[in-house]
Structure 1
C-alpha cells in the first residue's frame, strides 16, 4: 500500500477524530457488559435477565443509529457526533446518581445505545474523505475505535471494586467523553461539497435491493458477533469457569483485543485480496472455532478459541465495509446506517441466545453450537451470491469495476 498516497488522499485529523469518537463511545456503549457480573449480585439477576441487561444497549444503538444517520445526512457527521456525545451524558449521569431498580437499569441500558449509534456519524465522517481504493483501510482505522471495549473490560470492574460501588464507573466515564468532545470539536471537519441529504424514497429504494439485506446479515454476524461476545464474555467466564469479576474481565479483554485491533488489518487485506475471499475464509474459521467452543473446553483452550473468533469477527467488520462502498458508492451514507443498525441487532440477539439457552438447558453448549450454525449459513450465502457479484459489480480480484 502507498502510505503516502493514503494520507494525502484524505484528512488525517478527521480520521483520527472519527477513531477517537468511536473509541470512547464504544467504551461507554459496552459499559454494562463487564459490570453485569457485579450488578447481577446486587439485583439477584438470573441468566436471562443478565443477558437482557447487556443486550439492550446494543438494541438501543441499532434504533438510534438510524436517527443519527438521518441527522448526519441533514446537518453533517461532525455536528451529529457532537450531539451524540452530549446526549451520552444523560444515561451516564442517571446511572451514577439515581438508579435504584432493574427497570431503571434497563432504561439506562437502552439509552446507552446513543453511544453505539456513533457509527452513523464516525464512519461517514471518515469515509467521505477517502477514495474507493482506500475505503477498506480508512473504515478499518475509524472502526478500530471498537478497541474502547478493551478499556471497559479491563478497568470497569476494577474501578467498581476499588470504590465498592459500580455506579461510580458511570460518573468517571463522563470525563473521557468530555475530553473527546473537545478534541473532536477542534479537529474533525466535514468534507466540503458533501452529498445532498437523502429523501425517504432513497431509503426505500435501497431497502428494495437484495444486496442491502445480504450486507445486513453479514454485518450482523461480524460486528454483531463482536459486540455480542464483547458484552457477554465477562459473564461467560464468570459463570462457566468461576472467575471473579476482575479476572473474568481480564480474560474477556484478551479476546476483545483481537477483534479490536485486527479490524484495520481486515480492511487492508480486503483491499488487497478482495472482501469476498476474506469473508469466506473468516466465516469458515469462526464456524469451526465456535463448534469447538460448544464442547465447553478448558479455560485455556476456550480463551484461545474465542481469541481467534474475535480476531476473525474484527477483520470481518473491515471486510464488509470494503465491499459496501463498491456496491453502493452513491448511497454509502444510507447503506452504512442500515447495515450498521443490522449489526447492532446481531449484537442484541447473541447474548439473548447464550443467556436464554443457559437458563433453559443449564449449559452454554447449545448456544455456541447455534452460533456456529449461523456462521456456517454466512459461508454458504456468500459462496452463492459472490458468483453474481463478480459478474455485475466486482472484479475477480476483489476490486470494483469501473462504473459508468
Structure 2
C-alpha cells in the first residue's frame, strides 16, 4: 500500500512546498501597500526565496537516500512553519528578506521526490514518473491565482497564515502515509559523492539546460505578476490569473516531456526545446504589445515544461549510482536560474528603460544550449560507434581513399599481431600472403568501384609470418556528393572452418 501511494503523496507534497515558495511574489502588490519598499527592493524580495530553495537541493537529494522521503518532507514542512508565520507579521523590508530566505525550503523539497520515486518504478518509466512528480510545480500556479483573491477578502497577513494550516496537514499526512521502509543504499559521504560526479561534463551541461528551462519557469513566475501590473497596467488579480496560466501550461507539459523522453531520443527533443526558446526570447526582446508578449511567454512555457521533463529523464540515465547528488546539483542550478533573471531585468530596466537586453541574452544562451545539445547528440553517437568498434570480436580497419590505414580496433591487433602504432599509416598489403594473383585483386577493386563493396575469402599473413584464411567484407564510404572518402574492412579468422 505504502509504495502505491508514494507518487500521489510526494507529488502533492511538492505542490504544497511550491505553494509556500512563491507566497511573497504572489502577494507582493498587496504587501507593498502596507510596507514601503522600492522596486529594486521588491525584486530582491521575490528573488531571495530562490537562494535557499536552490542551494539546499544538493544536500536534500543526498539526505533523501540516507533518511528517506518521509522524514525529509516532514522535517521540511515543520521548519517552514516558522518563516511563514514570520512573514505574516512582517513590517519591514528586512523582515521580508529574512522570512523569504527561509521559505526557500519549500522549493528545495523538489530534490526529495526526484531521488526517491525512481526506486519504485522500472527505468523505462523514470521520465514519465519524474514528469508527473515535477507537475507539482502547479503549486506555484495555485498560489499565484488563489492568494491574491483570498488576500483581497481577508488581507495578505491572514492569507499567509492559512499556509501554516496546510503545512500542518501535510506533516500529519506524511507521518501516516510516508514509506517507513524506503530502501536506502547510500554508503559514501556527501563530499565523496560530489567528488564522484563533479568532473563529468554531462552533469554541468544538464545543469545549464535546467538552468534555462526551469530557471525561466521560476523567473517568469516571480517576475510576471509585478511586470504585468507595472508595464501593461493590469490589475493584481488579472496579472495573477495570467501568471497562473503560464505556470499551469509549463507544469502540465512536464509529464509530456518525460513521456516523450521515455519513447524517443531525448537529445532530439531538447533541440526543439532550445530552438523554441531562442525564437521566443527574441520576440520578447523587441518589447512587443501584450498580444505578442503573450505568444512569446506561452512559447517559453511550452518549451520549458517539455524541457524540464526531458532533463530529469537524462539525469538518472547517466548518473544511476549517484542519482541523489546529481539530481540535487542539477535541480540547484535550475533554481539559481530563477534567481538572477528578475534582478538582472530590474537592473537593466532602471538603467535602459526596457527589458530588451535581458531577453536578448536569454535568446543567445538558449542558442548556445541548442548548439551544445547537437554536439552531445552526435558525440553520443560517435561514442557508441567507438564502443562497438572496441568490443566486437571482428577485426576492423578503415583506410583513406589512397589506401592508408587510419583506424583499427583491438580485434585487428589480436587477429593480425600488428599494434595500432604499426598499422596506422601503413597499407593493408602488409598483410598480403602472396597466395593470390593480380587478377584476384583486380576483381576485388572492380567490384568495389562498381558496387561499393566486396565480400569473400582471402588468405593473409600475420605479423609472425603465419598464414590464415579470413572472411573479409570491404565497403566504400562516400560523402554527400557520392565521392569515395574511405574504405572500411571487417574480417574474421575462418582458418579452422576452411
Give the TM-score taking structure 1 as reference length.
0.90
Q: Using CA pairs under 8 Å that are at least 6 residues apart, name the structure with larger relative contact order, 1 or 2.
A: 1
Quote how far apart the aligned CAs of 1:45 are: 3.2
Higher helix share: 1
1:39 equivalent to 2:31? Answer yes
- Counterpart in the other structure of 2:186: 196
Cα separation, 1, equivalents of 2:222 and 2:377: 32
1:89 equivalent to 2:50? Answer no
User: Aligned Cα RMSD in Å?
Assistant: 2.0
Q: Any idea what SS the aligned residue of 2:227 has?
A: helix
1:178 equivalent to 2:168? Answer yes
* Contact in 2 for aligned 1:28/1:112 (Cα 8 Å): yes
Cα separation, 2, equivalents of 1:205 and 1:122: 22
- Counterpart in the other structure of 1:5: none
Cα separation, 2, equivalents of 1:274 and 1:44: 51
Quote how far apart the aligned CAs of 1:157 are: 1.4
Quote how far apart the aligned CAs of 1:190 are: 5.9
Quote how far apart the aligned CAs of 1:140 are: 0.3
* Contact in 2 for aligned 1:73/1:198 (Cα 8 Å): no
* Contact in 2 for aligned 1:258/1:311 (Cα 8 Å): yes
Q: Any idea what SS the aligned residue of 1:347 has?
A: coil
Cα separation, 2, equivalents of 1:365 and 1:148: 30
* Contact in 1 for aligned 2:68/2:182 (Cα 8 Å): no
Cα separation, 1, equivalents of 2:103 and 2:50: 8
Deviations 1:365-397 (A, max 9, x none): 2222222222112111111122223344799xx
1:152 equivalent to 2:126? Answer no
Deviations 1:8-65 (A, max 9, x none): 9x94310111101001101111111221223334434333222211111111111222
1:167 equivalent to 2:149? Answer no
**Unaligned stretches of 5+ residues in structure 1:** 1-7, 396-404
Q: Any idea what SS the aligned residue of 2:120 has?
A: coil
Q: Any idea what SS the aligned residue of 1:123 has?
A: helix
Cα separation, 1, equivalents of 2:103 and 2:188: 27
Cα distance 1:390–1:59, how it changes in 2: closer, same or farther (>3 A)? farther
Cα separation, 1, equivalents of 2:23 and 2:100: 9
1:113 equivalent to 2:104? Answer yes
Cα separation, 2, equivalents of 1:363 and 1:21: 38
Higher alpha-carbon deviation: 74-83 or 381-390: 381-390
- Counterpart in the other structure of 1:345: 336
Greater C-alpha Rg:
2
* Contact in 2 for aligned 1:154/1:250 (Cα 8 Å): yes
Cα separation, 2, equivalents of 1:183 and 1:260: 24
Cα separation, 2, equivalents of 1:147 and 1:140: 12
Cα separation, 1, equivalents of 2:283 and 2:302: 16
The alignment of Structure 1 onto Structure 2 pairs a total of residues equal to 385
* Contact in 1 for aligned 2:148/2:236 (Cα 8 Å): yes
**Unaligned stretches of 5+ residues in structure 2:** 387-498
Deviations 1:333-357 (A, max 9, x none): 1100111111111011121122211
Cα separation, 2, equivalents of 1:172 and 1:192: 31
Cα separation, 2, equivalents of 1:193 and 1:263: 27
Partner residue of 1:226 out of 217, 226, 248: 217
Deviations 1:246-283 (A, max 9, x none): 11111111211111111101100111122111111011
Dislocated runs of 4+, deviation >6 Å: none
Cα distance 1:335–1:393, how it changes in 2: closer, same or farther (>3 A)? farther
Matches within 5 A, 1:274-293: 274-293=265-284
Q: Any idea what SS the aligned residue of 1:363 has?
A: coil
* Contact in 1 for aligned 2:66/2:185 (Cα 8 Å): no
Quote how far apart the aligned CAs of 1:191 are: 6.3
Give the TM-score taking structure 2 as reference length.
0.74
Partner residue of 1:59 out of 47, 51, 61: 51
- Counterpart in the other structure of 2:16: 24
Cα separation, 2, equivalents of 1:205 and 1:125: 20
Quote how far apart the aligned CAs of 1:181 are: 2.4
Deviations 1:140-169 (A, max 9, x none): 011110001111111111222212x32222
